[in-house]
């Protein structure tokens, strides 16, 4: 059997696309190789969201070049957002690459592998939804499904609209059929993916069109799905119907990832986020009114062009007021082809570094404090397997999206109860009350 190896960078969309690549390759008779050495087909699913993503990938690609020098028959493929952003240039920069394809062209890989000439072919169309590919799930009990591809926003810092194309929503019947098939196959938790899930449906013909809140209700009604998550909502578009859904739908988890980006309205405007500080804090207030125990996470960019000390102070204020359960913090990174990369008032590196350190401190402080509310509680945990750090323990995830390491007897895929005994900013620790009773 020919062997493949896939390295994935970037976000959950890429993780999902890689599962589809793997599923497709296995249906073509390929088997997974544990590392690049020994693989007949070496694939990269790339990201280009920040410069660091590009740099990291280049090092990995170098290693694949070495494997190919040693085994000239090896086929090297580069897919995903970076590939889309450089297109045919990839073959000039890295002559040993045989095939390159954008995020929307995963299915073309099969065409390429079946073609006569396995050299320097590129696939970079935006085709909309192009049929279902079988996915090989990394976590047996968790599935991803894409509800839309591309993005209709024009955030001035962001490369995604150019790498994933215009937003196209997927037919709700296809989403439901996909989730139902996964449920049949043992999936208990599903994550719906879209760059702005709240704009779901807008590109659909009238007779198919439903809102994101309606889609959530339909997915909730599918037998066997115990947990629904989604990413990402957009603060300008998230409305009461979706917030109510969190309060009403049994499977919709008590967690929302609501990207703030900045607490300064002036900066949000330059970012073209089309909401201001008040709108964001109002959404948080509304969410907490309906679901008081919700976990909130966010994304924040530090050092966007023109960010003054006062703008940054506003970000700290919003972080302090909101008390997020966790936050991803990014130094602004100019991206080719984006509006903000041309802004002249770029923030010096040392200033970004200093602000980042202050922000991370505050985020950590709130994350630690917020996590203490779980100590002493019995929480529902979906078991993922053995703990990575301590193989005597099990590892799972709560509905609030907290990782828990715990003593217990459950098996991967079980939904169990864990009594939480301690909490840090990142993880919870605890034990199954059942086990405690058995040992007593
Ligand atoms: N569609 C999602 C975001 C996807 S990108 C949304 O709008 O929320 C994930 C995160 O990467 C963004 O939320 C942003 O915080 C960060 N990001 C995007 N472009 C960036 C850039 N040029 N520099 C630094 N961070 C960036
Ligand atoms: Fe990028 Fe903005 Fe679209 Fe998110 S909403 S993917 S940040 S352009
Ligand atoms: Fe995701 Fe990176 Fe593309 S964050 S959408 S893989 S640029």
Q: Would the CB of 151 count as within 6 Å of ligand 3?
A: no
| pLDDT score for 223 | 96
Neighbour-count burial of 96, counting CB atoms closer than 10 A to its CB (0-12 exposed, 13-18 middle, 19+ buried): middle
Q: Would the CB of 333 count as within 6 Å of ligand 1?
A: yes
Q: Is the dihedral of CA 28, 31, 36, 38 positive or negative?
A: negative
pLDDT tens by residue, 218-271: 999 999 999 999 999 999 999 999 999 999 999 999 999 999 999 999 999 999
State in Å: Cα 2 to ligand 1 middle: 37
Q: How far apart are CA 30 and CA 241, in angstroms?
A: 45
- Closest protein CA for atom 4 of ligand 1: 195
Nearest to residue 433, comparing CAs of 408, 405, 397?
Answer: 408
Ligand 3 atom, smallest distance to 53 CA: 2
State in Å: Cα 259 to ligand 2 middle: 10
Q: Are strands 148-149 and 142-146 parallel, antiparallel or unpaired?
A: unpaired
| pLDDT score for 249 | 98
Confidence of residue 128 (pLDDT cuts 50, 70, 90): confident
- Closest protein CA for atom 2 of ligand 3: 47
- Closest protein CA for atom 1 of ligand 3: 11
| pLDDT score for 405 | 97
| pLDDT score for 127 | 86
Mean pLDDT in residue range 88-111: 92
Q: Would the CB of 156 count as within 6 Å of ligand 1?
A: no
Q: Would the CB of 14 count as within 6 Å of ligand 3?
A: yes
Q: Would the CB of 47 count as within 6 Å of ligand 3?
A: yes
Q: Are 223 and 263 in contact (CB under 8 A)?
A: no
Ligand 2 atom, smallest distance to 195 CA: 6
Q: Are 30 and 58 in contact (CB under 8 A)?
A: no
Domains of the chain, first to last:
3-123 (3.40.50.12160), 375-439 (2.40.50.140)
Mean pLDDT in residue range 120-132: 84
Give the number of whichever ligand sits closest to the CA of residue 9.
Answer: 3
Ligand 2 atom, smallest distance to 151 CA: 3
State in Å: Cα 24 to ligand 2 middle: 28
pLDDT tens by residue, 322-377: 999 999 999 999 999 999 999 999 999 999 999 999 999 999 999 999 999 999 99
Confidence of residue 118 (pLDDT cuts 50, 70, 90): low
Q: Are strands 75-80 and 99-101 parallel, antiparallel or unpaired?
A: parallel
Q: Give the residue with greater pLDDT, 111 vs 420.
A: 420
State in Å: Cα 313 to ligand 1 middle: 20
Q: Would the CB of 332 count as within 6 Å of ligand 1?
A: yes
pTM: 0.96
Which strands, in side-by-side order, build the sheet including 326-331?
255-257, 295-302, 326-331
| pLDDT score for 148 | 96
| pLDDT score for 131 | 63
């Amino acid at each position: 059997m020919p062997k493949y190896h896939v390295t994935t960078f970037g976000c959950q969309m890429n993780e999902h696309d890689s599962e589809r690549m793997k599923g497709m390759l296995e249906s073509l008779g390929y088997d997974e190789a544990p590392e690049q050495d020994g693989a007949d087909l070496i694939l990269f699913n790339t990201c280009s969201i920040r410069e660091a993503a590009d740099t990291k990938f280049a090092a990995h690609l170098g290693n694949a070049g070495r494997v190919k020098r040693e085994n000239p028959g090896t086929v090297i493929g580069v897919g995903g957002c970076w590939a889309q952003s450089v297109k045919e240039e990839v073959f000039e920069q890295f002559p040993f690459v045989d095939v390159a394809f954008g995020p929307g062209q995963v299915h073309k890989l099969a065409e390429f592998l079946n073609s006569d000439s396995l050299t320097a072919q590129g696939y970079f169309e935006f085709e909309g939804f192009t049929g279902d590919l079988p996915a090989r799930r990394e976590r047996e009990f968790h599935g991803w499904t894409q509800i839309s591809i591309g993005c209709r926003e024009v955030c001035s810092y962001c490369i995604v609209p150019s790498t994933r194309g215009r937003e196209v929503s997927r037919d709700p019947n296809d989403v439901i059929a996909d989730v139902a098939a996964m449920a049949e196959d043992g999936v208990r938790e599903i994550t719906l993916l879209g760059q702005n899930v709240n704009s779901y449906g807008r590109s659909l013909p009238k007779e198919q069109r439903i809102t994101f809140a309606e889609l959530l209700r339909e997915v909730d009604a599918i037998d066997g799905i115990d947990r629904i998550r989604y990413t990402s909502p957009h603060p300008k578009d998230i409305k009461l119907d979706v917030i109510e859904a969190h309060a009403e739908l049994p499977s919709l988890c008590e967690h929302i990832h609501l990207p703030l980006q900045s607490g300064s309205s002036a900066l949000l405007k330059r970012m073209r986020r089309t909401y201001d500080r008040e709108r964001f804090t109002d959404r948080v207030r509304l969410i907490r009114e309906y679901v008081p125990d919700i976990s909130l996470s966010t994304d924040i960019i530090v050092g966007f062009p023109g960010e003054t000390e006062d703008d940054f102070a506003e970000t700290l204020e919003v972080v302090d007021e909101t008390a997020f359960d966790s936050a991803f913090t990014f130094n602004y990174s100019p991206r080719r082809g984006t509006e903000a990369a041309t802004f002249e008032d770029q923030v010096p590196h040392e200033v970004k570094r200093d602000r980042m350190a202050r922000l991370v401190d505050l985020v950590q402080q709130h994350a630690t404090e917020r996590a203490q509310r779980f100590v002493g509680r019995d929480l529902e945990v979906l078991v993922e397997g053995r703990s990575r750090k301590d193989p005597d323990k099990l590892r799972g995830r709560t509905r609030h999206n907290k990782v828990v390491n715990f003593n217990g007897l459950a098996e991967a895929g079980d939904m169990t109860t864990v009594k939480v005994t301690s909490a840090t900013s990142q993880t919870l620790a605890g034990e199954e009350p059942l086990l405690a009773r058995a040992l007593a």
